[in-house]
């Protein structure tokens, strides 16, 4: 199985400041057939199910604010929240869907 490792495990950012979450996969999740990275990001607010934010590593799901930015390729990916809002307090997970789906351990984002 592909192992996904996120860093940091948690971070606290001031409102309006940038939050950056990293995600590394144990092997590349870039498809040679279509040049797409099979990497998604989810947000899970307390007591809620996960919500899809980003797919193909950088494509924002419909309705997701443009402050959420996905980047990276191959085995190294980043989710950036460009200007943290109070409603962004949540745990964020990366997931690869190149093979059997696996998730990172999650990164808890809070307010400083």
Pattern 56-95, another protein, x by CB under 8 A: -----x-------------------------------x-x
Distance of CA 57 to the CA centre of its chain: 8
Give the total of residues touching another protein (CB under 8 A): 26
The answer to the question of residue 102 lying near another protein (CB under 8 A) is yes
Kindly identify the residues of this chain, within the stretch 27-56, that bind another protein according to CB under 8 A: 31, 33-34, 36, 38, 40, 42, 44, 48-52, 55
Which of 46, 87, 100, 112 contacts another protein by CB under 8 A? 100
25/95 with CB nearer another protein: 95
* Minimal distance, residue 95 CB to another protein, in Å: 7
DSSP the chain: ---EEEE-SEEEE-TTS-EEEEEEESS--B-TTT--B-EEEEEE-TTS--EEEEETTTEEPTT--TTEEEEEETTEEEEEESS--GGG-EEEEEEE-SSS-EE---EEEEE-
The answer to the question of residue 106 lying near another protein (CB under 8 A) is yes
């Amino acid at each position: 199985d592909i192992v996904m490792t996120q860093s940091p495990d948690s971070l606290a950012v001031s409102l309006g400041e940038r939050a950056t979450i990293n995600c590394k996969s144990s092997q590349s999740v870039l498809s040679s057939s279509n040049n797409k990275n099979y990497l998604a990001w989810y947000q899970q607010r307390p007591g809620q199910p996960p919500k899809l934010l980003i797919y193909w590593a950088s494509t924002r799901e419909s309705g997701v604010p443009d402050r959420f930015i996905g980047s990276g390729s191959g085995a190294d990916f980043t989710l950036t929240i460009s200007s943290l809002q109070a409603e962004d307090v949540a745990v964020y997970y990366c997931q690869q869907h190149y093979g059997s789906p696996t998730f990172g351990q999650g990164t808890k984002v809070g307010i400083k």
